[in-house]
Chain A
Amino acid sequence: MKVDVVMPQLGESVAEGTVVKWMKKPGDSIAMDESILEITTDKVDSEIPAPAAGTLVEILTQEGETVAVGTPIARIETEAGATAVPSRPSSRDTSVHDGSDRPGTKVVVYRRPGAVTAKKPTTGKRFYSPLVRSIARTEGISAVELESVAGSGDRGRVTKKDILAFLDARGAATAISPALAAPAMARPAGPVEEIPMDRMRKAIAEHMIRSVQTSAHVTSISEADVSAIVRFREKFKDPFRRQEGISLTYTPFFAKAVVKALKEFPLLNSSLDGDRILLKRAIHLGIAVSLDDGKGLIVPVIRDADEKNFLGLAKTIVDLSNRARIKKLVPDEVQGGTFTITNPGIFGGLIGTPIINQPQVGILGTGAIVKRPVVINDAIAIRSMMYLSLSYDHRIIDGAMGTLYLQRVVQYLESFDPKELGWNVR
């Protein structure tokens, strides 16, 4: 019996994948679940296990080729009587990355059992008519984009009219951007180097434009005195590294404050679906990680960030950002975020006005921590200060709520108490 190996779906919004490398060649015998090739998508690289044991008889997609999810990419001839698991485009087919191949690192499995089935709180619920689906496919509208289309039909269903209006709006947007880059108009007189955009660049470009078009962006800015956190970090960063094997950064402090405040302001942890607001019970916190040399951006997600203690957050952040930089995240780790933190401060930036990560409604930018003279009780003191900028979607969050939320984050940062961390030098 011949079994097809198909291009798996590595994530909700992923429509295609590129074969990076074949680890087996035709004629090789393979065991069930043995890795047979590497593929890459916008944000994730993955090894694909064989869906059946047998002999690899045919490779249908060569290295470097990109094909749609579900396309057969190879054929395996199984031995007579051998059973085969039908190969299907599911993220479950990818191996769970548990870090065990990295010696010296404590193994932490970040994917809870059931995480796969528990994902996407909104996607599966929405019904799309065959027409809407076929228009989306022909026009290259991703599943995530489709989710952002407001529906005017019965029970908020996306109608033909809605999706055509969405396409019009998108068409208008893309009509602008190529115009800016149009060689005839913008190309300067001198020699010019042309750099084709890679997949990630294109994905980011598309996502940013769409976000700006989708949400009514407002940015509120507040200032926080983080002297207590700075003092704590200075004092304990070395013991922390010795004891935990990772460096103590400011990000988990921010994450803790953001998550605590989100509990009190659930609207900041929501999405807008047509004319309904979806409050998300789970807090999955995205942390923007910039790749080396400005070669892109990945936002890995800390699942159920509110259920982790400080040490758990710190370790998760380090692990996710390390693996983000080497493109070794699994699909579930870059999906389903409900709120995002981005850190322009890491490059010395004082204030950023971040763009919302759709379909979320809020993103917090953390500026650089710098010592500044500040007035405390009518005296001038030198304190470690930082700016926090919160961009939020004014469609559902008004200025008052946005600012109150931001102030609550400030409060948590300023009232930092080492005793509440639950971490001690042993």
Chain B
Amino acid sequence: MGAITYIQAISDGLREEMRRDDSVFLLGEDIGIYGGAFKVTKGFIEEFGPERVIDTPLAESAIIGVSIGAALMGLRPVAEMQFADFISCAFNQVVNNAAKIHYRWGASVPMTIRCPSGGGVHGGPYHSQNNEAWFFHTPGLKVVAPSTPYDAKGLIKSAVRDPNPVLYFEHKFLYRRIKEELPEEEIIVPIGEGDIKREGRDITIVTYGSMVHVSLEAAETLANEGIECEIVDLRSILPFDKAMILDSVRKTNRVLIVHEDVLTGGIGGEISAVISEEAFEQLDAPIMRIASIDTPVPYSPPLEEFFLPNKEKVINALRKLAAY
């Protein structure tokens, strides 16, 4: 079996879950006959029929509302937001209904919301955002953001099986750019567990999603300068793997947090706070963050390049940290 793309891995994971469990069904805009805006669900309507692959009106609130109702009735809906940016239309359904039903009435809401997110694809302010932090702040939700085909497949399967509402942030830039050979056997990546994508002794980089790859490239450059970075890929953002972060910090004593979401109010601030609360005495340098700048995502390609974190920005921060 050859290497498969990140988008293929999501597709495969969904298909496996639908074959495994009849209660799993998909709903979203143009996911059926058209196969999805990015073709994640291409061929699904043919295999599973229009009752399990439902084309919906352009109404995110309705998509999530239907999903919540179906989940309460014992089904396992997987809702697709065509772009993560559009989820704001369903914000109340997500944060006040899906997130709080179990707390309020003790009922399980086993649903997955797929959120194609991220920039670097010149999509402009409404098709490029990384809005995971909106939900990171909402107890009752789970939020994941895979960076590799392996994790993408393993996490979509865990999300479908989870008894809680899970927001699954899949990065559009990675869809067809990242390939990986996957093992034949079933892949399950537990929610809440991070993954060390590179081991190193000098600096810990805490990151997730597309920035894992940017960080890996930067770490490669730094390795040539004798500085070994350890890359903690969170994979799950809520809950995040605190133990893994702290273990790595205790080893390297220096931390850089990298995310593609904008800096202010991004999850990097929370991770930084946890590190300084729980590992203050292990820090040999200030915790640093690299993120997008605090503006809407620019449509202009050169401006978007300026806006996004990139290898050079990460390398500069790492050099600064190493020299501190």
- Chain A interfacial positions (CB closer than 8 Å to B): 129-134, 153-154, 157, 159-160
Contact = CB atoms under 8 A, between A and B. Distances in A.
Interface in B295-324: 323-324
A308 B61 CA distance: 86
A133 B324 contact: no
Interface stretch (B76-84, B207-215, B277-285): B277-285
Q: Which of B281, B284, B324 has the most CB of A within 10 A?
A: B284
A130 B280 contact: yes
A157 B253 CA distance: 15
Contacts of A133: 281
B324 A154 contact: yes
A130 B282 contact: yes
A159 B281 contact: no
Interface in B227-283: 253, 280-283
A131 B253 contact: yes
Contacts of B324: 153-154, 157, 159
Contacts of B323: 153-154
A134 B253 contact: no
**Interface SS majority for chain A:** helix
A242 B323 CA distance: 65
Interface residues on B, range: under 10
Nearest to A158: B284
Contacts of B283: 129-131
B279 to A, nearest CB: 9
Contacts of B253: 131, 160
A131 B252 CA distance: 11
22 contacts: A129-B283, A129-B284, A129-B285, A130-B280, A130-B284, A131-B253, A131-B281, A131-B282, A131-B283, A131-B284, A132-B284, A133-B281, A134-B282, A153-B323, A153-B324, A154-B323, A154-B324, A157-B324, A159-B284, A159-B324, A160-B253, A160-B284
Nearest to A155: B324
Contacts of A160: 253, 284
Nearest to A132: B284
List 6 tightest A-B contacts by C-beta distance, closest first: A134-B281, A131-B284, A160-B284, A129-B284, A130-B281, A131-B253
Nearest to B320: A154
A67 B251 CA distance: 31
Given A130-B280, A134-B282, A159-B324, 7 more contacts: A129-B285, A130-B282, A130-B283, A130-B284, A131-B281, A134-B281, A160-B284
A192 B260 CA distance: 72
Interface in B190-239: none
A149 to B, nearest CB: 13
Contacts of B284: 129-132, 159-160
Contacts of A129: 283-285
A157 B322 CA distance: 12
Contacts of B281: 130-131, 133-134
Q: Which of A131, A133, A153, A154 has the most CB of B within 10 A?
A: A131
Contacts of A154: 323-324
A126 to B, nearest CB: 15
A134 B284 CA distance: 10
A365 B324 CA distance: 42
A324 B285 CA distance: 43
Nearest to B250: A131
Contacts of A153: 323-324
A348 B311 CA distance: 71
A157 B323 CA distance: 10
A134 B280 CA distance: 9
A153 B286 CA distance: 13
Contacts of A157: 324
B127 to A, nearest CB: 41
Nearest to B281: A134
A346 B282 CA distance: 50
